[in-house]
Amino acid sequence: MATAAAAGSTPGAASRPGRVATAGVVAAGILVGAICLALVATSTNSDNGDGHWFVQLAANLFTIGVGLVMWHARPGNRVGPLVILTGFASTVVFLSWAGGNAIAWTIGDMWNLLGFVVLANVYLAFPDGRTSGWSRRLVIAVYAWFFVLSVSRRLVDPYPPSWPIRNPLLIWPNERLADALGVIANVGALVLTILVVGTVLDRWRRGSPVARRALAPVFWVSPITLVVVGTFFVAKVTGSDTLFALSTGPLAQLSNFLLPIAFLVGLLQTRLERGSIADLVRDLDGVKTGDLEAALARAVHDPTLRLAFPSPDGGGYVNAAGGPVELPLGNDRRDITRIEGADRTIAILIHDPAVDPGLVESAAAASRLALENERLAAELRAQLEEVRASRTRIVEATDEERRRIERDLHDGAQQRLVALGFTLRRANRRADADPELVQLLDDANRELEDGLRELRALARGIHPTALTDGGLAPAVRELADRFPIPVEVDVEDRRFATPIETTAYFIVAEALTNVLRHAEATSASVRGRFVGGTLDLEIADDGRGGADDGAGGTGVRGLADRAQAVGGTLSIESPPGGGTTVRARLPLA
Partner 1 sequence: MTGSDARPLRVVLADDSVLFRSGLAHLLVDEGFEVVGEAGDAAGALELVDRERPDVALLDIRMPPDHRTEGLEAAIAIRDRHPSTAVLLLSAHVETRHAIRLLRADAAGVGYLLKDRVMREADLLDAIRRVASGGSVIDPEVVGELLGRARPHGPLDELTPREWDVLALMAEGRSNNAIAERLVLELKTVEGHIRTIFSKLGLEPEPSGHRRVLAVLTYLRSQ
Q: Is 95 exposed, middle or buried (0-12, 13-18, 19+ CB in 10 A)?
A: buried
Residue 381 Cα distances to 149, 298, 363, 386, angstroms: 66, 27, 26, 8
Note whether 295 and 277 are within 8 A (CB).
no
For the CB of residue 484, give the shortest distance to partner 1 in the complex, in Å: 5
For the CB of residue 418, give the shortest distance to partner 1 in the complex, in Å: 6
Question: Hey, what amino acid is at 384?
Answer: L
5: helix, strand or coil: strand
Residue 428 Cα distances to 420, 450, 451, 569, angstroms: 12, 18, 19, 58
For the CB of residue 448, give the shortest distance to partner 1 in the complex, in Å: 7
Helices (H) and strands (E) in the chain, counts: 19, 11
- Cα atoms in the Cβ-side hemisphere of radius 13 Å centred on 237: 14
Q: Is 92 exposed, middle or buried (0-12, 13-18, 19+ CB in 10 A)?
A: buried
For the CB of residue 467, give the shortest distance to partner 1 in the complex, in Å: 11
Residue 244 Cα distances to 160, 240, 477, angstroms: 21, 6, 107
Residue burial 442-459, b: 16+ Cβ < 10 Å; e: rest: eeebeeeeeebeeeeeeb
User: What is the distance between the alpha carbons of residues 240 and 234, in angstroms, rounded to a whole number?
Assistant: 8
Residue 190 Cα distances to 149, 228, 291, 370, 380, angstroms: 14, 13, 48, 53, 62
Note whether 349 and 357 are within 8 A (CB).
no
Closest to partner 1 by CB, 187 vs 419, is 419
For the CB of residue 342, give the shortest distance to partner 1 in the complex, in Å: 59
For the CB of residue 390, give the shortest distance to partner 1 in the complex, in Å: 30
For the CB of residue 556, give the shortest distance to partner 1 in the complex, in Å: 23
| DSSP calls for 314-346 | SSSEE-TTS-EEPPPPTTSS-EEEEEE-SSSEE
For the CB of residue 374, give the shortest distance to partner 1 in the complex, in Å: 51
Closest to partner 1 by CB, 416 vs 557, is 416
User: What is the distance between the alpha carbons of residues 348 and 8, in angstroms, rounded to a whole number?
Assistant: 12
Nearby residues of 413 by Cβ (< 8 Å), 6 or more positions away: 455
Closest to partner 1 by CB, 459 vs 535, is 459
Closest to partner 1 by CB, 390 vs 423, is 423
For the CB of residue 498, give the shortest distance to partner 1 in the complex, in Å: 13
Closest to partner 1 by CB, 379 vs 454, is 454
Residue burial 315-342, b: 16+ Cβ < 10 Å; e: rest: eebbbbeeeebeebeeebbbbbbbbbee
Closest to partner 1 by CB, 393 vs 416, is 416
Closest to partner 1 by CB, 254 vs 462, is 462
Note whether 5 and 357 are within 8 A (CB).
no
Closest to partner 1 by CB, 57 vs 487, is 487
Closest to partner 1 by CB, 319 vs 414, is 414
Note whether 523 and 498 are within 8 A (CB).
no
For the CB of residue 449, give the shortest distance to partner 1 in the complex, in Å: 6
User: What is the distance between the alpha carbons of residues 230 and 236, in angstroms, rounded to a whole number?
Assistant: 10
For the CB of residue 425, give the shortest distance to partner 1 in the complex, in Å: 6
Alpha-carbon dihedral angle through residues 472, 477, 483, 487, given to the nearest 10 degrees: 100
Closest to partner 1 by CB, 235 vs 487, is 487
**Overall residue count recorded for the chain in this entry:** 589
User: What is the distance between the alpha carbons of residues 582 and 572, in angstroms, rounded to a whole number?
Assistant: 5
For the CB of residue 426, give the shortest distance to partner 1 in the complex, in Å: 7
Nearby residues of 542 by Cβ (< 8 Å), 6 or more positions away: 521, 522, 523, 524, 579
Nearby residues of 468 by Cβ (< 8 Å), 6 or more positions away: 403
For the CB of residue 438, give the shortest distance to partner 1 in the complex, in Å: 14
Binding residues (CB under 8 A) for partner 1: these are 407, 410-411, 414-416, 418-419, 421-426, 429, 445, 448-449, 452-453, 456, 459-460, 465-466, 468-470, 474, 477-478, 481-487, 523
For the CB of residue 481, give the shortest distance to partner 1 in the complex, in Å: 5
Residues facing residue 347 across a β-bridge:
339
User: What is the distance between the alpha carbons of residues 517 and 513, in angstroms, rounded to a whole number?
Assistant: 6
For the CB of residue 393, give the shortest distance to partner 1 in the complex, in Å: 24
